[in-house]
Amino acid sequence: MKQVISTILLLSALTGAAAQQPLPPNKVYGELFTDVQLAKIFPDNKTFVDCVPKKDPAIIVANYKAIKSNPGIRFSLKLFVEDNFEMPPAPPAFNYVMKEKDISAHIKNLWGNLKREAGVTNVSKDEPWKNGSLLPLPYPYIVPGGRFREIYYWDSYFTMLGLKESGETEMIENMVKNFAYLIDTYGHIPNGNRSYYLSRSQPPFFCLMVELLAGIKGDAVYTSYGVQLEKEYQYWMDKTAATRHAVKMPDGSILNRYYDRDAIPRQESFVQDYEYSGNIQEGAAAAMNRNLRSGAESGWDFSSRWFAKPDMMSTIRVTDIIPVDLNCLLYQLELTIAKAKKTGNDPSAAMAYDKKAEQRRMAIERYCWNAKTGYYFDYNFKTKKQHTQVTAAGVFPLCFYNLPPAAMQAKGKAMAGVLKSTLLKAGGIVTTTYTTGQQWDAPNGWAPLQWMTVWAMNRSGQETLAKDIARRWTALNEKVYAGTGKLMEKYNVIDTHLEAGGGEYPSQDGFGWTNGVYLAMKAMLLK
């Protein structure tokens, strides 16, 4: 009976918390939202969900219903939207046309264009709709660029690497404070600071942001953010949210997966998801939508990594998979909480989190390490089979493990051989070995995965390979910049004469995490 009562109280608390959260555009605008997206009023579905209403949404919706149902009124949906919504700001006039010959100087000048000011107090509490879908933050922050007009979770860590090299310590701290605010306000760090992102998070890099800041300001930073570190951990372990991230493995150990709590088309990609799931049975459609959303939570949206058949989006199975990178990040989160407890003079709690971390590491070894291949792979807990596809996610364990030097070097040597024979290309590390038209597959390479691979190789005795990857990646950035005056979201690392492609939207420039990783890698190469 006590367990039942506890469950009821937990659900009541979750319902109450959810009721206080801003509603996403599909719930605010109802059929108007659906009609606008399906009519493709804007080429990019993200445009409408970022629009700010000119008046109370309840009035807009009532007017829309009245006009739509009146056959005597000649009606233009496009004009209705233009009359009732402020169009989202166009991408700012960045220094896209090269004015600085030196790419590092260009990036340092670009931070100001990517900066957004604090906005928590800008709108009256009586008129919160004036924020649109944006979740205001109490401190300034850096956005990626292009269509990405808000802060993004895992992007921001890699952006911070470059901010550090640029001496922008205050901005790093502001962004860490913003993420702590999001945890305190919503119980987790959403994909980005938009109401339509609240149903999911992204790869949990907050602990690494705290570590980065602690490296600048000292270990007291760990205790300053200890509460938020634990809150994020509880979110991922399903203790404070109605999610199902935690999975009990056959041996009783607990590992984690990506899992969006909603099972409807993504609001910012409504047409794509509607078309993916619109022609299948209701239960299958819900599963498809949840998997698409969970793929977005992974940051790898989308990749053959998540497909049962590499070239078929319809076989997406994100929620069946134990991702090696996610579990390594949670391992690091457990270690970081332990460090915060030690710094805060709570040795018994520190020991408990250290124990959790070691149990997770052993489970990662059991389910994700393949001694024959010498590499780490994802694991499908539904089929009870380890994946065989080599992806850049497999390097994450060597970024965080603290094994004896001989063991680290043995792993590094084995994994370096796999990387050289599969993922290493002219412009750096390719994401996977499959070419599918998805943006997180070949021929594309992404800044965060270059950094994690270089980091992993440096920590495991493969410094020569680490420098080689860094040189290839920075050279590709420089080549594209010299030709276009731009820094891109992603690059074609196989044929460096061609642009990157694939995905649901055109390749974006700006670009936060590319700027950050480039500056950090150049600093590393100069040491």
Active-site residue identified among 155, 168, 320, 489: 489
Q: Clarify whether 301 is annotated catalytic.
A: yes
Phi then psi dihedrals of residue 203, to 5 deg: -45, 125
pLDDT tens track, the chain, 527 positions: 333 333 333 333 333 333 368 999 999 999 999 999 999 999 999 999 999 999 999 999 999 999 998 888 888 999 999 999 998 776 555 444 557 889 999 999 999 999 999 986 567 777 889 999 999 999 999 999 989 999 999 999 999 999 999 999 999 999 999 999 999 999 999 999 999 999 999 999 999 999 999 999 999 999 999 999 999 999 999 999 889 999 999 999 999 999 999 999 999 999 999 998 877 888 899 999 999 999 999 999 999 999 999 999 999 999 999 999 999 999 999 999 999 999 999 999 999 999 999 999 999 999 999 999 999 999 999 999 999 999 999 999 999 999 999 999 999 999 999 999 999 999 999 999 999 999 999 999 999 999 999 999 999 999 999 999 999 999 999 999 999 889 999 999 999 999 998 888 788 888 999 999 999 999 999 98
61-99 pLDDT tens trace: 999 999 998 888 888 999 999 999 998 776 555 444 557
What single-letter amino acid sits at 383? T
Token pair belonging to 380: 């499908």
Please report, for the chain, the start and end positions of each structural domain, with discontinuous segments joined by +: 20-88, 394-527
Burial 269-282 (b: 16+ CB within 10 A, else e): bbbbbbebbeeeee
Q: Are 474 and 450 in contact (CB under 8 A)?
A: no
pLDDT digits (tens, 9 = 90+) for 126-185: 788 999 999 999 999 999 998 999 999 999 999 999 999 999 999 999 999 999 999 999
pTM: 0.94
Annotated catalytic residue 155: no
How far apart CA 261 and CA 141 sit, in angstroms, is 27
Work out the widest C-alpha separation in the chain, in whole angstroms.
80
| 3-class secondary-structure state, position 3 | helix
Spot the catalytic one: 168, 230, 268, 301. 301
Core vs surface per residue 333-349: b (16+ CB within 10 A) or e: bbbbbbbbbbbeebeeb
